[in-house]
Amino acid sequence: MSTLVVVGAQWGDEGKGKVTDYLSARADMVVRYQGGNNAGHTVVVGDREYRMRLIPSGIFHDKACVIGNGVVLDPAVLVQELDYLAEQGISTQHLRVSGAAHIILPYHIRLDELDEDRRGTLRLGTTRRGIGPAYADKSARIGIRVSEYLNRAVFAEKLRRNLEEKNRALAALYGAPGFDYDVVFSQYQAYAERVRPLVADTSLLINQAIDRGENVLFEGAQGTLLDLDHGTYPYVTSSHPVAGGACIGAGVGPTRIDRVLGTVKAYTTRVGDGPFPSELAGAEGDWIRERGREYGTVTGRPRRCGWLDTTIVRYAARVSGLTHLALTRLDTLAGLERVRICVAYRRDGDIITDFPQELESLEACEPVYVDLPGWPPFKEPDSSADLPGEARRYLEEIEERCRLPLALISLGRERGQTLAITDVFGDPPACRNQAARI
Ligand code: IMO
Ligand code: MG
């Protein structure tokens, strides 16, 4: 009975939705702790495919699900997802939303779009969902929390004040039309009634679940290299996908986190702009994109594809304290004659094994590869021992290079196409802090 953070160890889209859904069978509670509807988590159940952006992937196992304080919540999207799940016959009765989460309003989305267009070639390639502007307002202390949103008088006052300022900015910077207070207020009051029954002190709920000895899974969105502090700044998102983000974004202490599972795709992808040393610009990259259907869940953009880069995974292990790896998409690479792993970088004649902190430095890095034989397409094995020898060799190389054990291997989109190697919800380590109660 323990707690587990699932993080993306690359640039997002590692398969966190599939991994979370698979592990949710054993979890009692699943918590989103950062990001918003920039995430696109795909879950396949039987012949149905569900794409969630905001609600935790644990919802498909009818587990207690929490949208934590660290999330930025677009009420319109929440209502859409609630309606969508209801249509699919999936219960959301155990979903709770933190009163301390901040809400995304239409001016955040408009500003995200206009900021991106203005940057031209220096654009960040955001998902244009208002994520950055909403977090900026949170930091500037002019954001609106869910609890404030649900108080009619407080929301009215804050919205009026913010709209005045945002409308002025839209006109002055972009010559763009502003928003009408009455229209936004009444529209968002309607959504508020759907949000109201879900609101709770979620930090308390989560800590109580841990006290009861339940399995709590923290579902990261985005990935390590999109982290505001630890990613490839400025080509990052505005939240903290690393494991430490779970403490802040859910309201749990670091001593209560037992394990951290880094989700790694068998190759690397990136949507949006910014440096990517092991990127494959030609036919090989196209092959991976088509084989893996690597197009964005949220925006439909083609993803940039390249070889697996263990320099990145080791970096993710460092900044998130990974204890295990989950490898996804091993099936996608089947059929290649040889596969490559980027194990280090070459820069100005030097070999670099630690992921560089400065963007300029990363831009100057050339990949250093090891080549391994590819493996043929294979039938679903009962255990990893039944995988083709070349595929096993690839997995061993990853474990050795990353100095971490594989806990889970995903061989396809469905729940059943998964090999579980380690019980990541096993007994918590002896040093675990049990003393949240006084
Ligand atoms: P999941 O959870 C991949 C990227 C965007 C852009 C940058 C900033 O599905 O792994 P933002 O809209 O967050 O301000 O955009 O971050 N990005 C993602 N890339 N997967 C995601 O989520 C992403 N969420 C944001 O493409 O480069
Ligand atoms: Mg995505």
- Return the pLDDT at 272: 83
- The Cα–Cα gap between 294 and 304 comes to 8
CATH code of the region 2-73+203-420: 3.90.170.10
User: What spacing in Å lies between the alpha carbon of 287 and ligand 1's midpoint?
Assistant: 23
**Ligand having the closest approach to the CA of 134:** 1
- Return the pLDDT at 1: 80
Per annotation, catalytic residue among 21, 28, 41, 240: 41
pTM exceeds 0.95: yes
Is-same-fold flag (2-73+203-420; 102-197)?
no
User: CA-CA distances (angstroms) from residue 368 to 150, 308, 350, 401?
Assistant: 54, 11, 11, 13
Q: Is 12 in the pocket of ligand 1 (CB under 6 A)?
A: yes
Residue 374 tokens read as 């590819």
User: What spacing in Å lies between the alpha carbon of 40 and ligand 1's midpoint?
Assistant: 9
Q: Is 17 in the pocket of ligand 1 (CB under 6 A)?
A: no
Cα 246–Cα 251–Cα 143 angle in degrees, nearest 5: 90
**Ligand having the closest approach to the CA of 8:** 1
Q: Is 124 in the pocket of ligand 1 (CB under 6 A)?
A: yes
The 10s digit of each residue's pLDDT in 3-62 is 999 999 999 999 999 999 999 999 999 999 999 999 999 999 999 999 999 999 999 999
Residue 437: pLDDT over 50: no
Residue-range domain boundaries for the chain: 2-73+203-420, 102-197
pLDDT band for position 435 (50/70/90)? Answer: low
- For atom 23 of ligand 1, which residue has the closest CA? 222
What residues flank ion ligand 2 with Cβ within 5 A?
A: 13, 40, 297
Q: Domain 102-197 sits in which CATH superfamily? A: Adenylosuccinate Synthetase, subunit A, domain 2 (1.10.300.10)
Average pLDDT over residues 189-210: 98
The 10s digit of each residue's pLDDT in 220-245 is 999 999 999 999 999 999 999 999 99
Whether residue 234 has a cis bond before it, omega within 30° of 0:
yes
Catalytic, 230? Answer no
Residue 217: pLDDT over 80: yes
- Return the pLDDT at 433: 66
CB 104 within 8 A of CB 129: yes
The 10s digit of each residue's pLDDT in 116-155 is 999 998 899 999 999 999 999 999 999 999 999 999 999 9
- Return the pLDDT at 434: 62
Q: What is the dihedral of CA 255, 261, 262, 263, to 10 degrees?
A: -150
Q: Is 311 in the pocket of ligand 1 (CB under 6 A)?
A: no
- Return the pLDDT at 438: 41
Comparing CA positions, the residue from 254, 248, 197 lying closest to residue 227 is 248
CB 405 within 8 A of CB 399: yes
pLDDT band for position 297 (50/70/90)? Answer: confident
Probe residue for ligand 1, chosen from 109, 271, 301, 304 as the CB with the greatest number of ligand atoms within 8 Å: 271
- Return the pLDDT at 356: 96
Catalytic, 41? Answer yes
Phi-psi bin for 386: left (phi > 0), alpha (psi -120 to 50), beta? alpha
- For atom 20 of ligand 1, which residue has the closest CA? 12
pLDDT band for position 273 (50/70/90)? Answer: confident
Query: Within 10 A of 25 (CB to CB), how many other CB atoms are there?
Result: 11
Probe residue for ligand 1, chosen from 237, 268, 303 as the CB with the greatest number of ligand atoms within 8 Å: 237
CA 361 to chain centroid, in Å, comes to: 26
Residue 332: pLDDT over 60: yes
